[in-house]
Amino acid sequence: MEYEHINLNDYTRTGEGGTAVSYTHKTRLTMVKLYNPGFEADRAREEFLTARTVFDLGIPTPEPYRLVTDGERYGAEYELVPGKRSFTRIISQEPERLKEISIAFAREARKIHTTPADTSRVRSYKQALIRFYQEKNLVPEEYKRRALAFLEKVPDTPTCVHGDLHIGNIITDGDKTLWIDVGEFGYGVPEWDLGVLWTMCNNMDPARAENLFHVKPETLKAHWNIFISAYLGTEDAERIAAVTKRILPYYAVKVPYVYDMAYHRPLPDEAFPKLMLMLADAT
């Protein structure tokens, strides 16, 4: 499968995320996602093939059409859903709908996490992370030892995980709701999604919260509190605290992998003492 060259004069820039920029075609109902300079062509190809698999499996997501390049950056072209807004756009533009949208997000997340995965076509998060720690020398040796010890105990549940679960990666046109950015889709326990979502909602600085989600950190924290109660089906503080404690090691194990994928460099050394504490009770 080859990359097709596109002329960006045919498109309008419409969005920007942590790793890529999106463009909407001026006359066709398509949009292009181009990775930032520095990302290899294989990264875009892997995401496209995963997105194609997810679409073929019947997960609600825009149809992936083709691999594209502007000559410098690589990405793919996807179906454009007219009138769509991400959940984060809805919350930022209509803050009074925070509870409604957070509950809807919990409902859609539960659907993903209870959908059986075709383990022959999507990857195991457990095995992907084991390979990361075994093949790359990006963390301190003691951290690597504890991460691998934790991974040995993690169940390899054959149910779907999004891989980058947050309110910016789900869209609706008011009728249908679709997941986007499914390049990290795989299978495993829901904690792989919930751990990273927790830290996005509870540890994001104001500038990054505004850039990625168009809201203040306080809104993300409120979103998490509504989401986790709806997701678990309880407002019991002790149960929520227990679940939060359980998901933190999953975040600690996954974040060096995410950082390498997004920024092509190791986590700063100062991050590891706090992450080590998250792993302390789990290994």
Host domain of residue 38 = 4-79
Q: What are phi and psi of 25, to 5 degrees?
A: -65, 140
151 lies in the same domain as 65? no
147 lies in the same domain as 53? no
Q: Is the pTM of this model over 0.75?
A: yes
Indicate which CATH number applies to the domain containing 62.
Answer: 3.30.200.20
Domain count for the chain? 2
What is the per-residue DSSP string for 61-108?
-PPEEEEEE-SS-EEEEEE--TT-EEHHHHHHH-GGGHHHHHHHHHHH
184 lies in the same domain as 143? yes
Sheet holding 170-172, edge to edge: 85-86, 170-172, 177-179
* Distance (Å, whole) CA 241 – CA 123: 30
pLDDT of residue 280: 83
62 lies in the same domain as 176? no
Quick one: which of 203, 129, 193, 200 has its CA closest to 160?
193
53 lies in the same domain as 124? no
CA dihedral 34, 39, 45, 49 (to 10 degrees): -80
Q: 45, 79, 113: which is the final residue of a domain?
A: 79
53 lies in the same domain as 166? no
147 lies in the same domain as 240? yes
**pLDDT tens series, the chain, 283 aa:** 799 999 999 999 998 877 889 999 999 999 999 999 888 888 899 999 999 999 998 999 999 999 999 999 999 999 999 999 999 999 999 999 999 999 999 999 999 999 999 999 999 999 999 999 999 999 999 999 999 999 999 999 999 999 999 999 999 999 999 999 999 999 999 999 999 999 999 999 999 999 889 999 999 999 999 999 999 999 999 999 999 999 999 999 999 999 998 888 899 999 999 999 998 877 5
142 lies in the same domain as 50? no
Indicate which CATH number applies to the domain containing 115.
Answer: 3.90.1200
127 lies in the same domain as 153? yes
Q: 31, 49, 79: which is the final residue of a domain?
A: 79
pLDDT of residue 77: 98
pLDDT of residue 17: 74
